[in-house]
């Protein structure tokens, strides 16, 4: 199971983090990702913080199920993130902030990515992008390079509420 498989964060440490670092010429300031299995954010966070401890890693979870923040699990509509438990692969020491995103914000942002940017993504991608947009508005983040991780495609949601 990917929630417990150590190869999950290891591959993101070796590949995804390096791709982000190389594609931004090492100028990345903030990485924002939803937490499903915990492998993506933990692997990226570990490697990028080794390269630059000032990089901020932001974990996104559903507002209605803030388990990572120590609150109660609840039902939500953001498929792919927000398991009702803390995955073994999630390493809090590599995450600076846990940021909750509401269902409607995630869905509406995914829709906007499709209609305005031509990016057909899923709801968890909408959640990560919503958080990225919110962080980009903060005064401290002016001129910061923010990298959102958009992990899912919208194909599986074509007949769902996302694209109805």
DSSP codes joined into one string, 43-67: HHHHHHHHH-TT-EEEEEEETT--T
Average pLDDT, the chain: 95
Contact 121, 153 (CB under 8 A): yes
Element at 97 (helix H, strand E): strand 97-101
Instruction: With H, G, I as helix, E, B as strand and everything else as coil, classify residue 143.
Output: coil
Average pLDDT over residues 31-36: 98
Bigger pLDDT: 162 vs 122:
122
- The three-state secondary structure class of 125 is helix
Nearest Cα neighbor of 146 from 104, 111, 97 is 97
Residue 110 near residue 162 (C-beta atoms within 8 A): yes
Query: Rounded to 5 degrees, what are φ and ψ at 5?
Result: -80, 115
Checking if the pLDDT of 6 tops 90, the result is no
45-95 per-position pLDDT tens digit? 999 999 999 999 999 999 999 999 999 999 999 999 999 999 999 999 999
CATH number of 7-163: 3.40.50.1100
What pLDDT is stored for residue 5 in this prediction? 80
What is the structure's pLDDT at 131?
A: 99
Interval 25-50 mean pLDDT: 98
Q: Residue 160 has what pLDDT?
A: 76
Contact status, residue 77 vs residue 46, Cβ threshold 8 Å: no
Tokens of 27: 């100028």
Q: Give the pLDDT of residue 161.
A: 73
């Amino acid at each position: 199971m990917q929630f417990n498989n150590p190869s999950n964060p290891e591959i993101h440490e070796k590949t995804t983090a390096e791709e982000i670092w190389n594609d931004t010429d090492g100028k990345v300031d903030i990485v924002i990702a939803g937490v499903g299995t915990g492998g993506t954010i933990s692997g990226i966070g570990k490697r990028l913080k080794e390269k630059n401890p000032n990089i901020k890693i932001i974990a996104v979870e559903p507002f209605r199920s803030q388990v990572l923040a120590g609150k109660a699990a609840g039902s939500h509509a953001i498929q792919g993130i927000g398991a009702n438990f803390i995955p073994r692969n999630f390493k809090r020491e590599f995450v600076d902030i846990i940021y909750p995103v509401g269902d409607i914000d995630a869905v509406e942002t995914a829709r906007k990515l499709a209609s305005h940017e031509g990016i057909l993504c899923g709801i968890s991608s909408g959640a990560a992008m919503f958080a990225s947009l919110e962080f980009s508005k903060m005064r401290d983040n002016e001129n910061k390079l923010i990298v959102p991780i958009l992990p899912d495609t919208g194909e599986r949601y074509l007949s769902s509420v996302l694209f109805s």
